Structure 1
Amino acid sequence: MADSAAKVDEFKANAAKAAIELVKPGMRLGLGTGSTAYHFVEAVGGLVRNGLEVICVPTSEATHAHAEKLGIPLSSLDETPQLDLTVDGADEIDDQLRLIKGGGGALLREKIVATASDRMVVIADDSKVSKTLGSHPLPIEVVRFGLRATMRLIEALAAEAGCEGEIRLRPGQGDAPYVTDQGNLIVDCAFHKIPEPEVLAFAMKRVPGVVEHGLFLGLADIAIIGGADGVQAIHHPGA
């Protein structure tokens, strides 16, 4: 089991190393969150130590702390509202580069940063590639007020969009729920299969208590996938 985990981590690191080739001097970079993005941040830190000049916007407090420790120059979207490139991981990727993100709890900031970027590159190991989205639970960030009513409406509108499954509040430490960097909660929706991601995304936007959902549609330009056969790049069909 340990050997398997180490191998997957190696695949993630290989994808990150391939993505670092896209980084050029003077770039404004969005830094993703999660175990795969961690490797990319490490690689950026190495380039900065060797003299690369970039300015970076992190997508979470965890990534901010990591990048700061590595001496990476940091900014915010208020100071740097337009980015050249964001590199981030994903929980699931289909062949149209539609994504499920948010397993690490940073989906809101990740989506804001990705949308502010000229290009988004996704890095992942090959276990994240899926023919149909849904094998990974869909995270949805919600406000605290009216939580149960919000969850009921999510369930009802998701069913209309052809998606059914357990919807549960993400647990945090002890008896407390998980809290995002924005002070919100996350519900995880185990739909198992999302036949029409665009339809579900539109439905979730109709729920007043939903802040953001983890479907990233039309944002990724390239996916760099690490696996046993090396690294491959999947380009968006419209690119």
Structure 2
Amino acid sequence: MADTLIESAKRAAATQAVKDHYDPSASYVGIGSGTTIVYVVEAIKERSTNPSILFVPTGYQSRQVIKSAGLTPIALDSLPEDVLLDVAFDGADEVDDELNCIKGGGACLFQEKLVAEKAKKFVCVADYRKKQARLLTNWPTIPIEVAPISVPSVLHALRALGSPSPVLRTTLLEKSGPLKTDQDFFIIDAPFKTLLTTADVASGKGKGDGSNGVWEVTQLSAVIKTLTGVLEVGIFSGLNGVDAEAVREKEGARTTVTSGQKPVAVYFGMQDGSVEVLDADGSVKKYEKE
């Protein structure tokens, strides 16, 4: 019964997100990874009237989902440099009050971040379990993609940053060794204490620099990213696509900002069948079960 409830919540969130943000006149749409995205593609297929739209997957699984729906996938690196995706849909492992996300439970975080940054807007779709006030409340670790040769040094550095027991992720069949990403890199899962938001730091709840064992989301992500051997960190924070566009308009060629990493909105399928939407402006909207 619980599994049925969760799947219904995912489908409801996906259906509403696509209804609100999928434009049949779009040129390029990003499609993320994970079980929730299956319902996103299902909803897009039902509403799709334009066979010319090209869909950019974040990995092997999402590419197969796109193809199975009869839609056309295209590799991200085949897009012209100055072209942005009209929208990207993806899931998350956990989302906080400021729409910061943890992603990477499915080991696709690097390509998911590339696609999110390449989109005019990233829309996140999740079920009620992923909705938490702070990151690392329910989801236990931060996924980090690393070069295989760097694993020992990165594990050591993470422990120095306050992670009590970072571990190398293995495959389900443990004798097969570490799990490999699409880039042939490994994943380290690093637990930390529950992360602060920028509002927490501003209100004096902590510095967020790890000095007392507690980190703020963006500060921790930035520090981990500087470690030699780290390809990407499974924290999606910073700008969203709309804010990034404003930066581009103001600063033009002086900035390397391409888009954003945070979603412009997160659609949560709730236990009662409704869909709760958190927007980047802090507003909350609710769609009752149809």
Q: TM-score, length-normalised on structure 1? A: 0.91
Runs (4+) of structure 1 exceeding 6 A deviation are none
1:226 paired to 2:224: no
Aligned equivalent of 1:31: 31
Kept in 2, the 8 Å contact 1:169–1:186? The answer is yes
Paired with 2:219 and 2:23, the residues of 1 have a C-alpha distance of 37
Q: Deviations over 1:85-141 (max 9, x none)?
A: 001000000010000000011000000000000000001111101111113111000
What do you get for the CA RMSD once the two structures are aligned?
A: 1.7
Deviation at 1:6, TM superposition (A): 1.0
Deviation at 1:68, TM superposition (A): 1.0
Q: Deviations over 1:171-210 (max 9, x none)?
A: 1133211100111000111224123011101110120111
Match of 1:149 among 148, 153, 168: 153
Kept in 1, the 8 Å contact 2:36–2:91? The answer is yes
The worse-fitting range, judged by mean Cα deviation, of 8-17 and 166-175 is 166-175
Q: Which runs of 5+ in 2 are unaligned?
A: 197-215, 239-261, 284-290
Q: Deviations over 1:39-72 (max 9, x none)?
A: 1122223334x65542110001111012112211
Paired with 2:44 and 2:7, the residues of 1 have a C-alpha distance of 18
Indicate the percent of aligned positions where both proteins have the same amino acid. 30
Aligned equivalent of 1:93: 95
Paired with 1:51 and 1:108, the residues of 2 have a C-alpha distance of 29
The worse-fitting range, judged by mean Cα deviation, of 75-84 and 11-20 is 75-84
Deviation at 1:142, TM superposition (A): 0.4
Q: How many residue pairs align between the two structures?
A: 231
Q: TM-score, length-normalised on structure 2? A: 0.76
1:189 paired to 2:190: yes
Paired with 1:88 and 1:56, the residues of 2 have a C-alpha distance of 13
Aligned equivalent of 1:4: 2
Deviation at 1:32, TM superposition (A): 0.8
The worse-fitting range, judged by mean Cα deviation, of 200-209 and 39-48 is 39-48
Q: Which runs of 5+ in 1 are unaligned?
A: none
Higher strand share: 1
Aligned equivalent of 1:180: 181
Paired with 1:25 and 1:132, the residues of 2 have a C-alpha distance of 35
Match of 2:219 among 187, 192, 199: 199
Deviation at 1:75, TM superposition (A): 1.3
